[in-house]
Amino acid sequence: MVERSEINMADVARRAGVSVATVSRAMRGLPGVGEATRARILAIADELAYVISPEASRLSSGQTGRVGVVVPATEKWFYGEMLAAIERRLRAADLDVLLYQVSDTEVRRRFFQDLPTRRKVDGVVLIALPLPQEEVDRLDLLGVEVVVAGGRIRDFAHVEVDDRAIAMTAVEHLVGLGHRRIAMIRATIYGDEHWAPDTLRLEGFHQGLEAAGLPLRDDYVISVPFAPTAGAAGTQRLLALDEPPTAILCFSDEIAFGALQGARAAGLSVPGDVSIVGIDDHPLAEVMGLTTVRQDVAGQGERAADMILRRLSHTAVEDHVEPHELVIRTSTGPPRTP
Amino acid sequence: MVERSEINMADVARRAGVSVATVSRAMRGLPGVGEATRARILAIADELAYVISPEASRLSSGQTGRVGVVVPATEKWFYGEMLAAIERRLRAADLDVLLYQVSDTEVRRRFFQDLPTRRKVDGVVLIALPLPQEEVDRLDLLGVEVVVAGGRIRDFAHVEVDDRAIAMTAVEHLVGLGHRRIAMIRATIYGDEHWAPDTLRLEGFHQGLEAAGLPLRDDYVISVPFAPTAGAAGTQRLLALDEPPTAILCFSDEIAFGALQGARAAGLSVPGDVSIVGIDDHPLAEVMGLTTVRQDVAGQGERAADMILRRLSHTAVEDHVEPHELVIRTSTGPPRTP
C-alpha cells in the first residue's frame, strides 16, 4: 500500500507531464504552478486516487480526522513539552494525534522511505529535527499538509525562535556583567552533522562577541552530546584550560545543569568563579537558580497546532517567530578577574 | 457514533441477559464466564456490531493497525520516557500509536465519557494515572484490549514496580547509615485524592521505619504538588522544625532535585547536615549526585508494549513486576547527630 502510494505520486506527475515536485506544490497550494496546470494535476490525482483506493479520496478531502506528529524522542523535555501542547490543541479541535518518533538516523530514514503517514493522516506537524537533503525532498511525497515546529525546513509553514538572537542576548548579559573570557558549549544530537539550532546559536555567540569587540577563540568553543553528564565533562575541560573562561553559555538548560555540577566538581563556585547561562527555561531551571534565555516551548506547539488546523481548513497561515526573554537568576554575576 | 457504541455494549448485555461487566469479561477472554455464555455473548456482539457499522467488525478482528496510548502528560519525564519506549516497540511491530493525553480531571472525564478510542484502535495501553471508580468502570466500555503500564488497575494485564519495596529499600539505606529521624515528602498529582504510587510508597516508608523500630511521626510526612519547586519549599518546611529530620525520602527524583536546593537555601550541606534520597533515577540524577532507587521506566514501557502485542494476537500474558535497585551517590551519608 505504501509503494502504491509512491507510484501514485509519480503516476500523477507522468500523466500530467510535470515533475513530482510540481505535483507536490500543486497539491499543497504553493505558488509557482499555473492555475491550469494545477487544475489538471488535481484532476489527475483525484482520478488515480479513486482507482487505487477509496480511502485516498477520503484523505484528499481531509477526513481521516488524524494529524501525524513527528518528533525525535518524547523522553527529552523539549520534545515532550511541545508534543503535549500540540496534542492538547488538536484534541480540543476533535483531531486525533498519530505519534511518530524518529529518533535515530536509521528509524528516520525508514520513516521517510516508507512515508507511513500517507493516507493515515490529514496533515503532519514536524517537530524540529535534523534532516539530510534527501529526506527533506521526500517530504513532498507525503502528499499532505506539513507544518514545522521549533525550526524551519525549506518553505513549509513554521514556528521557530530566533536562535541567533537568543545566543546574542545571553552574550550581551555576560558582557554587561564585565565578562571578557566567554566560552560556549555546543550540542550535537543523534550524531547529525548539521543541526540548525546549534549552528545558529554559535553564529549568535560569535556575533555577540564581535559586537562587544571580543576575540573569537577556538579553544572556548566545544561540542558535546546533548546530555547533562556531557555538559559537566565539557565544563571541566573548559575550566582546565591555562586561561579558563569566566563565563559559559550552554546550548540548553540541560547542558547547563551539567555545567553547574562540572564547575562544582572542579572546586569552583558559581557565579563567584564562573558564570553559567542556559537556554530554554526548563522546569528545573528555577530550582537550580539557572540564568537562562527563556523560550515558550508549549506556546510554539500551540501555534504549530493552530497552523495545521488552518491549513486543513484551507486558510492562509503566517510563519511565526516566538519571542524570547532573559531570565536572570543566581548562576551569573560579575567575574572576579574581568 | 460514540453513543451508538455505548448502546451497543449495553444492548449485548441486555440481549444476552447478563451484566455489562460480564460482556466485557467475555470479550476480553477473562475467566469467570462459562464457555456457553461466552459464545452466546460473542455471537450477539458480532451481530450487533455488524448491524451498527461495518467498521465494528473490522475492529473486532483487530485490524485498525493502531494502539491507543493514554498518558497524563508527555512533558513530564516519567510519562515521556514510557511513551517513547512503547511507541518504539509498537512501531517496530508495524503498529501506529494514537496518543491521548488526559492530564487534568476535566479532560480525563471527557475522555472516559466519550470513549474516543472505540473503533479507532485495536487496543489501549494506559500509563498509570489516578482514576476514580466510575472511570475505571467505563474502561470495559472501550471494548478493546487494555494493558496498564507503571501501575495496576483492577484486573487488567499490567506492568508495575513494587512501590512499597522501593520505599522500604530507601529507608533501609538511610537506617543503615545511622539515621533515626527520617522524613518523607509525598506528592500529589492533578489534585487527585488517591494516587497509588504515593499511597504505596508511604506504606513502604512506614514499614521501613517499623522494621527499624523507629516511631512514625506525623510532622515528618508532608505532601506537595509534583514539582521541583514544591520539593524545595517542602524541604525548607521540614528543616525548619524544632527537631528537623536528618534524612528525607522524596517521592521522586524531581521532588528530590528541589529538596537538594531547599537544603542549600536553608544553609545546610548535603549530605553533611541532611541526606536526600529520590526514586526513579531520572536522567539528571547522576549529574546531581542524587542517591536514588532506580526503576527502569523504558523497560516497563517495552514490557507493556509486548503485552498489548500478545493480547492482540490472542496470546496469554503474565503480569510483570519490574525490579528496582538502590543507586548510591553523594546525597546520602551518615548523620552528624544520630
- B chain contacts of residue A104, beta-carbon cutoff 8 Å: none
3-state secondary structure of B255: helix
The CATH number linked to B234 is 3.40.50.2300
**Percent of chain A predicted with pLDDT > 90:** 64
Find residues 250-309 of chain B whose CB sits inside 8 Å of chain A: 254, 257-258, 261, 283-284, 286-289, 298
> Å from B77 to nearest chain A CA?
6
Work out the minimum CA distance from A90 to partner chain B, whole angstroms: 11
- B320 domain-assigned: no
Where residue A7 sits, what CATH number does that domain have?
A: 1.10.260.40
Give which of B107, B85, B115 is closest to B97, Cα–Cα. Answer: B85
Nearest by CB to A80, from B80, B100, B107: name it.
B80
Cβ <8 Å between B107 and A98: no
Asked whether the beta carbons of B277 and B251 are under 8 A apart, the reply is no
First to last CA, chain A: 65
| Cell numbers at B12, concatenated | 449485548
3-class DSSP state of B245: coil
Model confidence band, residue B139 (pLDDT cutoffs 50, 70, 90): confident
3-class state of residue B240 by DSSP: coil
Of B99, B228, B261, the CB nearest to A97: B99
* Joined grid coordinates for residue A6: 509512491
Whether the link from the prior residue into B283 is cis, omega within 30° of 0, is no
Q: Answer yes or no: is A44 within a domain.
A: yes
Give chain B positions within 8 Å (CB) of A231: 287
Contact B172, B204 (CB under 8 A): no
Tell which residue, A265, A271, A227, has the closest CA to residue A246. A271
The closest CB to that of A75, out of B84, B103, B120, belongs to B84
| In the block, residue with C-alpha cell 538548560 | A253
Does the pLDDT of residue B97 top 90, yes or no?
A: yes
Higher pLDDT, B116 or B236: B236
pLDDT at A118: 66
A144 located within any domain: no
Residues of A in contact with B107 (CB under 8 A): 88, 91
For chain B, give the longest Cα–Cα distance: 75
Q: Contact, A309 vs A147, CB < 8 A?
A: no
Q: How far is B33 from chain A, CA to nearest CA, in Å? A: 35
Contact between A74 and B83 using a beta-carbon 8 Å cutoff: yes
- Identity of the residue numbered A245: P
A289/A168 same-domain check: yes
**A84-107: per-residue pLDDT in tens?**
999 999 999 999 999 999 977 788
**Same structural domain, B291 and B170:** yes
Of the residues B15, B36, B51, the one at which a domain ends: B51
Interface contact B99-A101, CB threshold 8 A: no
pLDDT at A335 (0 to 100): 97
Last residue of a domain, one of A29, A51, A73: A51
Q: What pLDDT score does A193 carry?
A: 62
**Domain membership of residue A192 as a residue range:** 163-295
Task: State how far residue B79 is from chain A, nearest Cα, in angstroms.
Answer: 8
**Inter-chain CB proximity B284 and A75 less than 8 Å:** no
Predicted confidence at residue B118, as pLDDT, reads 67
| Residues A148-175: tens digit of each pLDDT | 999 988 889 999 999 999 999 999 999 9
Which residues in chain A have Cβ-Cβ distances shorter than 8 Å to B258? 287
On whether residue A81 sits in a domain, the answer given is no
Q: What is the pLDDT of residue B36?
A: 82
pLDDT digits (tens, 9 = 90+) for A14-47: 788 887 777 767 766 666 788 788 788 877 766 6
Number of domains in chain B: 2
Residue B167 lies in a domain: yes
Q: From residue B184, give the alpha-carbon distance in Å to each of A153, B141, B150, B167, B242.
A: 48, 39, 21, 10, 17
User: Does A247 map to a domain?
Assistant: yes
For B:64-103, CB contacts with A below 8 A are: 66, 69, 73-77, 79-81, 83-84, 87-88, 91, 96-101, 103
Size of interface A-B (CB pairs under 8 A): 113
Chain A partners within 8 Å of B79 (Cβ) = 80
Residue A289 lies in a domain: yes
| Cα separation, A116 vs A152, whole angstroms | 22
Tell me which of A53-67, A119-133, A204-218, B255-269 is least confident.
A53-67
pLDDT grade for B56, boundaries at 50, 70 and 90: very low
Q: Is the pLDDT of residue B336 over 50?
A: yes
C-alpha span between B267 and B236 (Å, rounded): 10
The answer to whether position B141 is within a domain reads: no
- Enumerate the H helices of B53-195 as residue ranges: 54-60, 77-92, 105-114, 133-138, 163-176
Give the separation between CA A246 and CA A239, rounded to whole angstroms. 9
Closest Cα in chain B to A230: B287
ipTM associated with this complex = 0.81
Asked whether the predicted pLDDT for residue B218 surpasses 70, the reply is yes
Total number of residues shown for chain B: 338
- Segment B198-213 mean pLDDT: 97
pLDDT band at B116 (very low <50, low <70, confident <90, very high): low
Dist CA B291 CA A36 (whole Å): 68
Phi, psi of A289, deg, nearest 5: 65, 25
What value does the mean pLDDT of chain B take? 87
A111-118 contacts at long range (C-beta below 8 A, 24 or more positions apart): A111/A70, A112/A138, A112/A139, A113/A138, A114/A2, A115/A2, A115/A5, A115/A6, A115/A141, A115/A142, A116/A2, A116/B96, A117/A68, A117/A70, A117/A142, A117/A144, A118/A2, A118/A5, A118/A142, A118/A143, A118/A144
**Do the beta carbons of residue A190 and residue A227 sit within 8 Å?**
no
d(CA B276, CA B173) in angstroms, rounded, equals 11
Answer yes or no: is pLDDT of B57 > 70. no
Instruction: Inform me whether the pLDDT recorded for A7 exceeds 80.
Output: no
Give the model's confidence band at A115: pLDDT under 50 very low, under 70 low, under 90 confident, else very high: low
